[in-house]
């Protein structure tokens, strides 16, 4: 499901925002870690239409609820982030704003009668099968929405629909006939799967070395950094009561229990002393750093050496990143905390990346060489076998019958059938992403009688989605879009 949705996301989004007028009762889902101020403040402006934070929050909530329904309740914030749900919500609103600008340019509007007609179709406001004004008020109140706010949203969505109805997407009978023919062609095939499991590869140095020589620039050594450093271990001091009390009073909010309540001094004493020790450790490290830079380190301070790289880093990624930004003319790094100690580094030498020797690169070259050789030998085997092979024979299948190829995974079978029904060859072979090759021979073809002329069928929806995508691109060139939120 996730793979399909990611692959077809642009059509999914268009479908969602065109088909949804208002979503009530889903509950609000926010992303929490962002704060942009006033709920009504503008987060974007498209032409003459502003997009507010309230709209963005509601759209995010609605999208979250719809995805959660598709995932049968197994959608969470982690999946929302992987799908870029925040960006989707903003994109949905800016696309709507483009259509609204078009509507404004033609002086289109929604009157109260059209609004009421729409409200009377929304079943969550029904009582005994008809629209009920009191239920309407109660439902909106439970969802923290005012009547005015909701009706503005509904009018906006109705205006979008009215505008799009002025630009109908028609599918001709010829188009339907052609697409139906393509979708309903069925093949009876004979096929055979070839894998590289039994293919042997010569991995001797004599065979491997020419391959390495042709790709030396792909096998480079790491950049390494030679450094000197001093270490400031954690300080553990004794503090008089006045010092402990002074620090506690100045930093009370640092010391809370599991319920978020402020701890009294006695309950916070250990944490207060830990904070004082941490501050003393940092102060001591900064004094040593200044002395180190000035060449005035005390004789009893040990200066150590190390060579650091991405694969040999006893500290952490932040240390390596900061050291990589130093230079020989500005070699000192301010004290940086690693576990409970502070380290001050001095860069002494940078060893740039260079091509590895054959022996150094061999362990990395070998798996690439084997994979490429197996692929080439498998393709050679396929070319030599395609004219004479005998395999399994299917019934008549279409490009949606992956489940009928029982000796293949469904994903591999789908990949094979998509390629098969795109091929012009009666006999041939198809390479799959998993490395296997499928030989095929089309024995017979026929046209199934599954014609679908319903205007709501996938063919019509796909054409509508493509038209709407083109319309949005055209309007993006006409109306300027300004985004006021960084990172979206």
The answer to which of 23-27, 188-192, 291-295 has the lowest mean pLDDT is 23-27
Report the pLDDT value the prediction gives residue 16, as an integer from 0 to 100.
39
Task: For residue 381, give every residue at least 6 positions away whose Cβ sits within 8 Å of its Cβ, in sequence order, or none.
Answer: 194, 199, 437
Question: pLDDT, tens digit, for every residue of 452-478?
Answer: 545 555 566 667 777 888 889 999 999
How big is the CA angle at 403 (ends 402 and 404), to the nearest 5 degrees?
90
Report the pLDDT value the prediction gives residue 5, as an integer from 0 to 100.
41
Q: What is the distance between the terminal CA atoms of the chain, rounded to a whole angstrom?
A: 25
The answer to which of 249-258, 310-319, 459-468 has the lowest mean pLDDT is 459-468
Question: pLDDT, tens digit, for every residue of 221-238?
Answer: 999 999 999 999 999 999
**Confidence class of residue 19 from pLDDT cuts 50, 70 and 90?**
very low
Q: What average pLDDT does range 314-320 have in this prediction? A: 93
Instruction: Judge whether residue 206 has pLDDT over 50.
Output: yes
- CA-CA-CA-CA torsion sign (465, 470, 475, 480): positive
DSSP sequence for 39-61: TTSEEEEETTEEEEHHHHHHHHH
Comparison of pLDDT for 12 and 211, the residue scoring more: 211
What's the CA gap between 23 and 428, in Å, rounded? 51
Helices (H), 200-240: 205-214
Question: pLDDT, tens digit, for every residue of 354-386?
Answer: 999 999 999 999 999 999 999 999 999 999 999
> pTM score > 0.75 for this model?
no
Instruction: Judge whether residue 311 has pLDDT over 80.
Output: yes
Report the pLDDT value the prediction gives residue 12, as an integer from 0 to 100.
41
What's the CA gap between 237 and 280, in Å, rounded? 8
Instruction: Judge whether residue 110 has pLDDT over 90.
Output: yes
Question: pLDDT, tens digit, for every residue of 173-183?
Answer: 666 666 666 66
Q: How far is C-alpha 428 from the geometric centre of its chain's CA atoms?
A: 37
- Write the burial class of residue 46 (CB in 10 Å: 0-12 exposed, 13-18 middle, 19+ buried): buried
Question: pLDDT, tens digit, for every residue of 128-158?
Answer: 999 999 999 999 888 888 899 899 989 999 9
Question: pLDDT, tens digit, for every residue of 420-457?
Answer: 988 889 999 999 999 999 999 999 998 776 555 455 55
What's the CA gap between 50 and 430, in Å, rounded? 51
Q: Are 386 and 429 in contact (CB under 8 A)?
A: yes
What's the CA gap between 12 and 5, in Å, rounded? 7
* Strands 42-46, 481-483: pairing kind: antiparallel
Residue 370 β-bridge partners = none
What's the CA gap between 361 and 171, in Å, rounded? 59
Mean pLDDT for all residues in the chain: 86
- CA-CA-CA-CA torsion sign (9, 10, 11, 15): positive
What's the CA gap between 60 and 62, in Å, rounded? 5
**Confidence class of residue 2 from pLDDT cuts 50, 70 and 90?**
very low
Comparison of pLDDT for 316 and 462, the residue scoring more: 316
- Write the burial class of residue 65 (CB in 10 Å: 0-12 exposed, 13-18 middle, 19+ buried): middle
Question: pLDDT, tens digit, for every residue of 326-343?
Answer: 999 999 999 999 988 999
Whole-Å CA distances, 85 to 9, 57, 93, 181 = 11, 11, 12, 37
The answer to which of 171-180, 233-242, 251-260 has the lowest mean pLDDT is 171-180
């Amino acid at each position: 499901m996730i793979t399909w949705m990611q692959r077809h996301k642009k059509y999914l989004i268009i479908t969602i925002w065109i088909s949804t007028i208002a979503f009530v009762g889903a509950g609000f889902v926010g992303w929490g870690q962002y704060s942009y101020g006033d709920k009504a403040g503008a987060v974007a402006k498209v032409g003459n239409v502003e997009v507010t934070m309230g709209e963005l929050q509601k759209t995010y909530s609605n999208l979250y609820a719809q995805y959660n329904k598709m995932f049968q309740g197994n959608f969470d914030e982690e999946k929302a982030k992987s799908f870029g749900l925040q960006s989707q919500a903003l994109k949905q609103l800016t696309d709507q704003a483009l259509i609204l600008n078009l509507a404004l340019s033609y002086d289109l509007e929604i009157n109260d009668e059209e609004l009421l007609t729409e409200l009377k179709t929304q079943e969550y406001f029904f009582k005994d099968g008809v629209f009920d004004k009191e239920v309407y008020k109660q439902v909106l109140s439970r969802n923290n929405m005012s009547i005015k706010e909701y009706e503005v949203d509904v009018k906006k969505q109705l205006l979008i629909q009215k505008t799009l109805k002025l630009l109908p997407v028609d599918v001709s009978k010829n188009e339907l006939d052609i697409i139906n023919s393509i979708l309903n062609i069925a093949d009876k095939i004979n096929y055979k799967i070839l894998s590289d499991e039994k293919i042997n590869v010569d991995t001797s140095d004599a065979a491997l070395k020419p391959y390495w020589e042709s790709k030396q620039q792909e096998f480079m050594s790491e950049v390494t950094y030679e450094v000197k450093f001093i270490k400031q271990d954690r300080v553990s001091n004794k503090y008089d009561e006045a010092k402990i009390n002074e620090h506690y009073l100045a930093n009370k909010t640092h010391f809370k229990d599991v319920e978020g309540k402020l701890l009294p001094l006695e309950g916070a004493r250990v944490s207060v002393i830990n904070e004082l020790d941490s501050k003393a450790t940092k102060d001591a490290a900064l004094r040593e750093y200044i002395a180190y830079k000035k060449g005035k380190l005390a004789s009893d301070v040990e200066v150590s050496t190390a060579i650091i790289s991405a694969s040999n880093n006893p500290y952490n990624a932040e240390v390596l990143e900061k050291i990589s930004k130093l230079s020989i003319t500005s070699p000192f790094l301010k004290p940086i905390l690693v576990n409970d100690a502070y380290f001050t580094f001095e860069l002494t030498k940078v060893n740039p990346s260079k091509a590895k020797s054959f022996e150094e690169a061999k362990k990395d070259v070998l798996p690439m060489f084997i994979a490429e050789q197996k692929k080439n030998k498998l393709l050679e085997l396929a070319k030599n076998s395609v004219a004479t092979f005998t395999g399994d024979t299917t019934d008549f299948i279409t490009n949606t019958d992956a489940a009928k190829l029982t000796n293949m995974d469904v994903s591999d079978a789908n990949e094979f059938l998509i390629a098969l029904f795109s091929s012009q060859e009666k006999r041939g072979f198809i390479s799959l992403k998993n490395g296997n090759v499928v030989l095929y021979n089309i024995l017979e073809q026929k046209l199934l009688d599954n014609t679908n002329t319903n205007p709501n069928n996938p063919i019509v929806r796909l054409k509508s989605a493509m038209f709407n995508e083109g319309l949005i691109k055209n309007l993006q060139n006409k109306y300027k879009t300004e985004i006021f939120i960084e990172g979206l």
